[in-house]
Structure 1
Amino acid sequence: MNIIDQAEILYPLNLVVSAANKDLIELSWDKVNSSHFKPVSYAIYVDNKLVAKDLSITNTA
């Protein structure tokens, strides 16, 4: 039996910044689907510093 592991494909992220200032950034995005149907989580970096991690379409910070 041969098992072929297909490369995972992530569909594009459509990110919208609706408000931003020095203390706040408001973002929205469409759900990103994985070709392997795995959950997709996000991290946000500002000036190369991690400011939020493990975000998902249903889990926000």
Structure 2
Amino acid sequence: MQKVYCRLNRPLPYDPELRGHRNNNIFRMASYRVRTVGISQIRTTFSGEMELSSE
């Protein structure tokens, strides 16, 4: 996602309200990407760990 949304590499603002808005927008962009592309980075990143923990 960092290559697609390069602005995510910038640090979060100090202001709690602005930080909350920024985090909300990040989660919305991630959810939109999963819905449109159908690829969840959470699933692909942690799928190996989930299989190991189920044993």
Q: Which has the higher contact order (CA 8 A, sep 6+)?
A: 1
Common fold by TM > 0.5: no
Query: What TM-score, normalized by structure 2, do the two folds share?
Result: 0.21
Q: More strand by proportion, 1 or 2?
A: 1
Q: More helix by proportion, 1 or 2?
A: 2
Bigger radius of gyration, 1 or 2?
1
Query: What TM-score, normalized by structure 1, do the two folds share?
Result: 0.20
